[in-house]
Amino acid sequence: MLHATSTPSSFPTAMPLPREIRALLLDDSNFDRARIRRLSKKTNLAVQLDEVDSIAQLDEAVERENYDLFLIDYRLPVGNGMEALDHVLKNDLNRDAGKIMITGDSASTTIVEAMRGGCHDFLTKEEMSVEALRTAMINALNAAKKRQQLSLHEPQQKEIIRQGLVAAMQDSEVQGNVISLVRQELRQSDRFGAELRNRSNAADMYALLAAFRDEDDFIFH
C-alpha cells in the first residue's frame, strides 16, 4: 500500500453515495497513479484513494479493507487487469464494490472483456479527464448498488415463482396440459424417447408431476 488521499463532496448524484468513498487504485506507473490522484481530488467526490502497484499488493489490501470502488489498470508487469478483477470478485469483503477498468487505448475487445468480466465502467488513459473520471466513478458505484439490491431481492423473487408454479401444478387442468405436452415432446424425440414413451403410462406421468412439486429446485436449474 502506497498512500491514501481524500477530497470532499459537494455535487449531487443520481443515487446516494457513501459519505466517504473508499477507493483502491491498482497501477504500476508512478506517473499514472499521481495523475489519477490529482484528477480524483478535483471530482468533488469524497474519495479516499489507496494505491497499490501489483496484484500481490491488491490481494493484501482487499484482505484488510472493505472498498466501495476499484480502479484497475489493464496492463501490468505481472498478470493483467482481468486477473486482478478476478481476485477482487473472489474476495468476500469486496466482490460487490464498483469496478472500473483503465486501459491504455480504446481497444473494443479489451473493453468488452472487462465489462463481461464484471466491471461497471471503463476509462482510457488518453481520454481521462476530471469529468470522465467523476462520471465513471458515479456510474460504477450506482451500478454496483443496483446489483446489490437485485441480489437481495432474488431469493424472494424465486420463492414467489416457486409458489406460483407449485400452486399451478396442483390444478388438474394444468396437470393434463403438462402431460399432453410431455407426450408430444416424446413423440417428436428420438429412439430413446420412443422407448420412454412406451413405458410411460398415465400413472408414470402423474408420478413425474408429483416429483416436480416435491423437488422445487428443478425450476431454477
Domain boundaries of the chain, sorted by first residue: 4-152, 170-220
- Rounded CA separation 84/77 (Å): 12
Residue 75 has pLDDT above 70, yes or no: yes
Would you state the pLDDT for residue 166? 67
Structure-model confidence comparison of residues 149 and 29, the more confident one: 29
Digit-coded pLDDT (tens) for 145-164: 987 777 665 566 666 666 66
Return the bridge partners of 52, or none: 26
User: What is the CATH class of 4-152?
Assistant: alpha beta
- C-alpha distance across the termini of the chain, in Å: 42
Mean pLDDT of the chain: 80
Sheet-wide strand order for 47-52: 4-6, 47-52, 21-26, 69-73, 98-103, 121-124
Would you state the pLDDT for residue 106? 72
The mean pLDDT of 15-20, rounded to a whole number, is 68
- Hey, what's the cell of 192? 430413446
The mean pLDDT of 169-189, rounded to a whole number, is 70
- Hey, what's the cell of 102? 483503465
Q: What is the share, in percent, of the chain residues with pLDDT greater than 90? A: 50
Residue 203 has pLDDT above 90, yes or no: no
